[in-house]
């Protein structure tokens, strides 16, 4: 994700012209990674939400790792992770949380023990309680960070 904001800025500007003051991003897996990275762009976002967004290592679209861009985060962050997600380690989640804390970024990181990757979308039927709790986190985060 380069610094050329092109369509990203145009999209947020269009929302603001339509009277929408609060703008959030949300994504799952790769989209969660992209949502976290959106907080590093100069978009004046109200917040970013990532569900099991990968935090480290290379990615197929050459997007940087969120852990490598912590110094550039400019928006509140909500990160929701599955404790049984083999692709996102507890150490990576802890490093993300610690990095946001050290930089005084308003954030909330929640890990659902026993929940796998995609617990909220493709496996929601099997993880009803975790999905309901994640939805409550999302709505509370949006409510907290929305401008009236």
Which residues span the domain enclosing 72? 20-145
Q: Is residue 73 part of a domain?
A: yes
> How far apart, in whole angstroms, are the C-alpha atoms of residue 63 and residue 118?
20
- CATH number of the domain to which 108 belongs: 3.40.50.1820
Q: Into how many domains does the chain fold?
A: 1
Q: Is residue 123 part of a domain?
A: yes
Q: Where are the alpha helices (DSSP H) in 52-146?
A: 90-102, 128-145
What is the set of active-site residues? 29, 85, 117
Q: Is residue 136 part of a domain?
A: yes
Distance of CA 79 to the CA centre of its chain: 5
What value does the mean pLDDT of the chain take? Answer: 92
The per-residue DSSP string of 46-73 comes to SEEEEES---SS--TT-PPPGGGGGGG-
Give per-residue pLDDT as tens, 92-138: 999 999 999 999 999 999 999 999 999 999 999 999 999 999 999 99
> How far apart, in whole angstroms, are the C-alpha atoms of residue 30 and residue 64?
11
- Residue 17: is its pLDDT beyond 50? yes
Q: Is residue 8 part of a domain?
A: no
Q: Is residue 115 part of a domain?
A: yes
Q: pTM of the predicted model, to two decimals?
A: 0.91
């Amino acid at each position: 994700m380069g610094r050329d904001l092109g369509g990203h800025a145009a999209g947020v500007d269009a929302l603001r012209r339509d009277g929408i003051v609060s703008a959030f991003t949300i994504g799952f897996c790769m989209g969660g990674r992209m949502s976290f990275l959106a907080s590093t762009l100069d978009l004046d976002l109200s917040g970013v939400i990532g569900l099991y967004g990968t935090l480290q290592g290379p990615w197929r679209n050459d997007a940087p790792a969120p852990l490598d861009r912590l110094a550039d985060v400019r928006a509140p962050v909500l990160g929701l992770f599955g404790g049984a997600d083999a692709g996102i380690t507890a150490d990576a989640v802890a490093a993300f949380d610690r990095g946001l804390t050290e930089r005084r970024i308003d954030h909330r990181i929640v890990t659902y023990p026993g929940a796998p990757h995609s617990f909220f979308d493709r496996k929601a039927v099997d993880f009803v309680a975790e999905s309901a709790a994640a939805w409550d986190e999302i709505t509370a985060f949006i409510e907290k960070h929305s401008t009236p």
